[in-house]
Amino acid sequence: MFPPADGLLVAAMMESSRPALSVVAPCYNEQDALPEFLRRVGAVLDAVGGTNEIVLVDDGSRDRTWETMSEAAAADPRVMAVRLMRNHGHQLALTAGLSVCRGERILIIDADLQDPPELLTGMMALMDQGADVVYGQRRQRDGESLFKRTTAAAFYRLIGRLTDVEIPADTGDFRLMNRRVLDLLLTMPERHRFIRGMVAWIGGRQVPLVYDRQARVAGESKYPLSKMIRFAADAITAFSVVPLMASMTIGWVMAAVGIGFFVYSIVGWLMDANLPGWTSIMAAIGLLGGMQFLMLGIIGAYLGRLYDQSKGRPLFMIRDIVGGPK
């Protein structure tokens, strides 16, 4: 432990050694895109000036992504390469990069260059005017299928209706934030992370920068339909209890339907009418049983999140770090 005065001195030295800007990019099988990414990001940082760093996170890639990162870190002192023990997924890989970056301002960007790094200058200007977060808002999405564009638009409209947090539509993780927002973000222990929603929850002055999203420079999307569905489920369960409350509403509706069948049966019996017994009973049982299993599934999704969180395991595990501060 440092004495109080020494502790303040060390803290001051750490603050003074911070670079002005960190660029954080999670990567998974991006060996073909990384050279162009580093070239374009490097040119932007040269234009911006000041001290800066590039933090690349290898999320368990199966190609030569790590070797490409390591070579870049050896050639450029601004580059820090971080390799995780295994594939943790985009959001946790991004969290790992954010936890080791040191900049006063932090740009989150993917290595596929769908989000142009050249927009950094405009983001910096907006932050100079007092913004805490400048997020990229997509006006157009080149290189993506109609299905993906449609489902993405539907997802943002749905989560906007389900949650009390105002999460901007048509945005990704591409954004510039200041150190204060990042420090608050890193205090959140969620394992199933939806970082764009978590940043929106923090608040502060958050402003958009509208742009046209470009096609990937190389490789293919790392978000197939199954991952998109899982990501959407994480986002909804992290920021909304509406699905849980819906079970109560549907329960009341099903109770009313059951009472209706009961009254119908009694009236038919009193009037000595022939009841279509088997068909109506099986229809009612099927409807009620299906809704019960659906609600149990929703409750199970929330309980599963609580179970994962209760284990208290680390969010990510770092294997190697190459480059960065000496």
> The whole model's pTM is what?
0.76
Residue type (1 letter), 243:
P
* Whole-number average pLDDT of the chain: 82
Q: Which of 207, 42, 174, 40 is nearest to 106 (CA)?
A: 174
| CATH at residue 113 | 3.90.550.10
> Amino acid identity, residue 188?
M
For residues 251 and 236, membership in a common domain is answered with no
| 203 shares its domain with 218 | yes
Cβ atoms 185, 98 nearer than 8 A: yes
Domain range for 279 is 242-310
- Are 177 and 292 within one domain? no
Supply the pLDDT for residue 279: 57
CA 103/CA 98 separation, integer angstroms: 10
Query: What is the amino acid identity at position 46?
Result: D
Tell me which residue has tokens 């992370």: 193
pLDDT at 121 over 70: yes
Q: What is the pLDDT of residues 131-154, one digit of tens each?
A: 999 999 998 877 667 777 787 777
pLDDT (0 to 100) of residue 215: 78
Let me know whether 34 and 168 are in one domain.
yes
Show the 3-state SS of the chain. CCCHHHHHHHHHHHHHCCCCEEEEEEECCCCCCHHHHHHHHHHHHHHHCCCEEEEEEECCCCCCHHHHHHHHHHHCCCEEEEEECCCCCHHHHHHHHHHHCCCCEEEECCCCCCCCHHHHHHHHHHHHCCCCEEEEEEEEECCCCHHHHHHHHHHHHHHHHHCCCCCCCCEEEEEEEEHHHHHHHHCCCCCCCCHHHHHHHHCCCEEEEEEEECCCCCCCCCCCHHHHHHHHHHHHHHHCCHHHHHHHHHHHHHHHHHHHHHHHHHHHHHCCCCCCHHHHHHHHHHHHHHHHHHHHHHHHHHHHHHHHHHCCCCCCCEEEEEECCC
Q: Give the per-residue pLDDT at 263.
A: 72
Residues 53 and 171 placed together within one structural domain of the fold = yes
Question: Are 179 and 287 members of one domain?
Answer: no
Same structural domain for residues 290 and 175? no
- Per-residue tokens: 13: 């030295």
Regarding whether 144 and 192 lie in a shared domain, the answer is yes
d(CA 173, CA 119): 14
Q: Which amino acid is at 8?
A: L
Judge contact between 76 and 43, C-beta under 8 A.
Answer: no
Which carries the bigger pLDDT value, residue 289 or residue 110? 110
Domain total in the chain: 2
- Of all residues in the chain, what percent carry a pLDDT higher than 90? 45
4 — pLDDT class (breaks 50, 70, 90): very low
Let me know: does 175 contact 213? Beta carbons within 8 Å: no
- What residue type is assigned to position 83 of the chain? R
What does the pLDDT read at residue 110? Answer: 94
- Contacts of residue 323, Cβ cutoff 8 Å, sequence gap at least 6: 73, 74, 76, 77, 79, 80, 81
Residues 231 and 282 in one domain: no
Tell me: do 76 and 164 sit in the same domain.
Answer: yes
∠ CA 28-29-31, nearest 5°, is 120
**Judgement on whether residues 235 and 247 belong to the same structural domain of the protein:** no
pLDDT at 10 over 60: no
Residue 296's pLDDT band, with cuts at 50, 70 and 90, is confident
Residues 85 and 134 occupy one common structural domain: yes
Q: Dump pLDDT digits (tens) for 71-99.
A: 999 999 999 999 999 999 999 999 999 99
